[in-house]
Amino acid sequence: MKGIGYSGLAAMLLVGLAAPAWEQTALPLSVEKCRKDAELFRSDDAVDLPTSVNLTNQADEMHACAELDEENWPRYHKLFDKFLMADSLRLQDFLSRHNLWAQFYAEDEAGKR
C-alpha cells in the first residue's frame, strides 16, 4: 500500500464514509431496481470506470438497498464496502501523487479533522 499504515487506511475509510452524495439516484429505489443495479455493479468496471462521486453515489444506493431489500443485505453490503474501498484507494493515491501525507498526518495530529 505504498507505505500507508493501517491508521492511514482507517482514516481514509472514515473520510469516505463522511463524504456526501452530490447526486441522488435517478429513479426511486425498488427491490427490482436494487437487484438489477447490484448485478450491474458486480463487474470490475463498476469500480474502475466511475468517477469518485459516482462511486460514492453507488455506495449510497447499495446502503439504501440493504435497508429496502433486507433479504439480500449481504450482497448490498459487500458492494457498499467495495465502492468505499475503491474510493479510499483513489484518495490515498492522490495524497501520494501530491506528496500530501506529511501534511495530512501533521494536521491530524493537530486535531484538524
Grid cell in block for residue 100: 500530501
Residue 108: predicted pLDDT: 96
What DSSP designation does 66 have?
Answer: H
- Tell me whether residue 1 is in a domain: no
Grid cell in block for residue 49: 470506470
Per-residue confidence band for 4, with pLDDT thresholds at 50, 70 and 90:
low
Q: Are 38 and 68 in contact (CB under 8 A)?
A: no
pLDDT (average), residues 1-7? 49
- Tell me whether residue 82 is in a domain: yes
- Tell me whether residue 14 is in a domain: yes
Residue 45: predicted pLDDT: 78
Residue 27: predicted pLDDT: 61
- Tell me whether residue 78 is in a domain: yes
Residue 10: predicted pLDDT: 46
**63-86 pLDDT per residue, tens:** 999 999 999 999 999 999 999 999
Q: How many domains does the structure of the chain reveal?
A: 1
Question: What is the distance between the alpha carbons of residues 109 and 113, in angstroms, rounded to a whole number?
Answer: 9
87: nearest Cα among 36, 16, 18: 16
Share of the chain above pLDDT 90, in %: 65
Q: For residue 56, what are the domain limits?
A: 6-20+28-109
Where are the strands (E) in 35-106, listed by range? none
